[in-house]
């Protein structure tokens, strides 16, 4: 990431903006957005899901089930998409991820268009996330050979383990932001191979702490943090898998 690789492990990069609701959601926004971006993202698709929120009442707290709807606009080769939902904009890039020089303008251009249409007043949350899938052509590995971030097993327990999932949250910018750092095993595409996910998600957690005009600087800083964290989590033996370009 900060280094250049012939075979980078990124399987998805995404930037998500959640906006502070200032008025009821306007159902015409996805259509107006599509009219502006359909040349680059011609394929449209509706996605539905469910969400649960907790509401406080006099009798106590009870769950509230909501139907979540968003529109997805895909590029013609389906390796990039823009997602629109109530007070939500997400820009995703799947394999093959091009570069930050290409992805950042894609983020900012779509944010600008969305802002012109929606007239949103501020950010509730922002997140820049990179998901890396690292494949090993063997049935077992010593994690410490490839990673500087991995689960530590107490010496009194067996040192061989199977499934694992570790996560830490690291505060940045006086706790305004935080880095969610996750390493976990995942299903391999081939039998007797090992696949791991190194997931780095940098988020702004204090709403309205940056303005719309500051979004460009925020995502640039977020990308720098993610790049540095990625390189800090892996060893040279791991870098050899990605074939670093000198």
CB 130 within 8 A of CB 230: yes
CB 23 within 8 A of CB 147: no
Strand spans (E) along the chain:
4-5, 10-19, 43-57, 60-74, 80-85, 88-94, 123-136, 165-172, 177-186, 194-204, 244-245
pLDDT band at 156 (very low <50, low <70, confident <90, very high): confident
Distance CA 44, CA 95 (A): 19
3-class SS of residue 144? helix
pLDDT band at 123 (very low <50, low <70, confident <90, very high): very high
pLDDT band at 60 (very low <50, low <70, confident <90, very high): low
Distance CA 81, CA 93 (A): 7
pLDDT value at residue 53:
47
Residues 6+ apart with CB under 8 A from 58: none
Residues 6+ apart with CB under 8 A from 97: 8, 10, 12, 13, 103
- Rounded mean pLDDT, 61-71: 66
With tokens 């050899």, the residue in question is 240
225-243 pLDDT, tens per residue?
999 999 999 999 999 999 8
pLDDT value at residue 16:
98
pLDDT value at residue 58:
60
- Rounded mean pLDDT, 95-105: 94
- Rounded mean pLDDT, 188-204: 90
Task: Write down the domain spans for the chain.
Answer: 4-18+121-245
pLDDT value at residue 2:
66
pLDDT band at 68 (very low <50, low <70, confident <90, very high): low
In this prediction the pTM is 0.89
15-49 pLDDT, tens per residue?
999 999 878 888 899 999 999 999 999 999 997 65
User: What number of other Cβ atoms are within 10 A of residue 147's Cβ?
Assistant: 19
């Amino acid at each position: 990431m900060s280094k250049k690789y012939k075979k980078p492990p990124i399987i998805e990069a995404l930037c998500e903006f959640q906006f502070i609701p200032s008025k009821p959601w306007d159902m015409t926004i996805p259509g107006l957005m599509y009219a502006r971006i359909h040349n680059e993202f011609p394929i449209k698709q509706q996605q539905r899901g469910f969400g649960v929120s907790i509401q406080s009442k006099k009798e106590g707290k009870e769950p509230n089930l909501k139907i979540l709807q968003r529109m997805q606009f895909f590029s013609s080769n389906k390796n990039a998409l823009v997602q629109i939902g109530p007070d939500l904009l997400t820009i995703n890039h799947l394999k093959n991820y091009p570069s930050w020089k290409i992805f950042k303008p894609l983020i900012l251009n779509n944010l600008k268009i969305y802002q012109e249409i929606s007239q949103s007043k501020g950010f509730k949350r922002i997140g820049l996330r990179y998901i890396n899938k690292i494949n090993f052509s063997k049935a077992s590995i010593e994690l410490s050979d490839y990673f500087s971030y991995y689960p530590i097993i107490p010496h009194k327990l067996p040192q061989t383990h199977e499934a694992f999932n570790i996560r830490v949250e690291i505060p940045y910018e006086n706790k305004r932001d935080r880095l969610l750092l996750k390493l976990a095993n995942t299903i391999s595409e081939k039998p007797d191979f090992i696949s791991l996910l190194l997931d780095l998600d940098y988020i702004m957690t204090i709403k309205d702490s940056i303005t719309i005009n500051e979004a460009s600087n925020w995502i640039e800083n977020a990308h720098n943090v993610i790049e540095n964290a990625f390189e800090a989590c892996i060893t040279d033996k791991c870098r050899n898998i990605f074939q670093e370009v000198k």
